[in-house]
């Protein structure tokens, strides 16, 4: 999901996009809708703006569809956006209605938030350290970067 909203970049890229997605948690309703309309006017077939706890909106050939965020027991939000956009793409490719795919994506993203993300929990690994260099060896053979 993009957080860059440069109008010139959008104008260049949008005509080639089946789905153009933006993370807009800090946008109010009017700003999110304005962004979606602008991007759609530049040629993106489907425009998605996610707004975290404020829900999501999508603008496409069906019109505007908005769904509320799905309540969840938040454990870790890492990956929720990836889950959301993946489910949106699956729904678009299956021909689901915009409302159906957005509601399903909200449910899947909420489920992702109930699990630990990539950081903060141990995962056992077996690593052969027999050929690893010590810090002293690394410092001895490396050179400082030029300023």
Active site residue 76: no
3-class secondary structure per residue, 93-144? HHCCCHHHHHHHHHHHHHHHCCCCCCCCCCCCCCCCCCCCCCHHHHHHHCCC
How many H-runs (helices) and E-runs (strands) does the chain carry? 5, 4
Which position among 28, 76, 82, 128 bears the catalytic label?
Answer: 82
E strand or H helix that includes residue 89: helix 80-94
DSSP three-state, residue 145? coil
Residue 53 burial by Cβ neighbours in a 10 Å radius (0-12, 13-18, 19+): exposed
- Which tokens belong to 94? 């299956």
Catalytic residues, by residue number, are: 82
């Amino acid at each position: 999901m993009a957080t860059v909203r440069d109008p010139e970049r959008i104008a260049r890229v949008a005509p080639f996009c089946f789905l153009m997605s933006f993370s807009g948690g800090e946008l109010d309703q009017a700003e999110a809708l304005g962004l979606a309309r602008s991007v759609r006017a530049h040629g993106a077939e489907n425009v998605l703006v996610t707004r975290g706890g404020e829900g999501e909106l999508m603008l496409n050939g069906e019109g505007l569809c908005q769904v509320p965020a799905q309540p969840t027991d938040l454990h870790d939000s890492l990956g929720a956006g990836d889950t959301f956009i993946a489910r949106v793409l699956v729904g678009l490719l299956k021909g689901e209605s915009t409302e159906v795919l957005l509601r399903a994506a909200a449910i899947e993203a909420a489920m992702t938030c109930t699990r630990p993300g990539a950081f903060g929990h141990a995962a056992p690994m077996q690593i052969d350290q027999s050929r690893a260099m010590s810090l002293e060896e690394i410092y001895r053979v490396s050179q400082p970067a030029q300023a």
